[in-house]
């Protein structure tokens, strides 16, 4: 009933920038926490950044000062602005959101399909 679709990934040189977007669609009451995760080959998925509905943010130490997460609640969209990219940022980036439904209590987390970010040396 709901979907998360990421966009904005691609190939960029070290030191460059990308902005990822994740748009939610479907039938839901609201979205609470949203976040960006990434998974590199041979590694586990890790949290990159998260943001509450009210705008409070949290970042992994490895991206703090370089990445900025934001959201537009009217558009049900979360963004990840990535600056000063490094080769070690190369991964598939996944959007995650906690949907709230009118007739269901509690948390309902969904994942996007992922978008590839590749940073060349």
Cα–Cα nearest to 28, from 1, 60, 67, 65:
1
64, two tokens: 């703090």
What is the reported pLDDT for 85? 98
Could you give the CA distance from residue 18 to residue 96 in angstroms, rounded to a whole number? Answer: 19
What is the reported pLDDT for 106? 82
What is the reported pLDDT for 10? 97
Contact 47, 57 (CB under 8 A): no
Confidence band, pLDDT 50/70/90 cuts, at residue 76 = very high
What is the reported pLDDT for 34? 97
Confidence band, pLDDT 50/70/90 cuts, at residue 5 = very high
Contact 59, 48 (CB under 8 A): yes
């Amino acid at each position: 009933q709901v979907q998360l679709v990421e966009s904005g990934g691609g190939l960029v040189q070290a030191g460059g920038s990308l902005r990822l977007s994740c748009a939610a669609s479907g039938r839901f009451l609201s979205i609470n926490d949203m976040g960006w995760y990434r998974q590199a080959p041979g590694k586990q998925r890790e949290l990159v950044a998260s943001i509450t509905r009210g705008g409070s943010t949290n970042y992994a130490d490895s991206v703090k000062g370089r990445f900025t997460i934001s959201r537009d609640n009217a558009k049900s969209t979360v963004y990840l602005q990535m600056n000063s990219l490094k080769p070690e940022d190369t991964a598939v980036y996944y959007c995650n959101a906690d949907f709230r439904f009118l007739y269901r209590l509690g948390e309902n987390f969904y994942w996007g399909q992922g978008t590839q970010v590749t940073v060349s040396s």
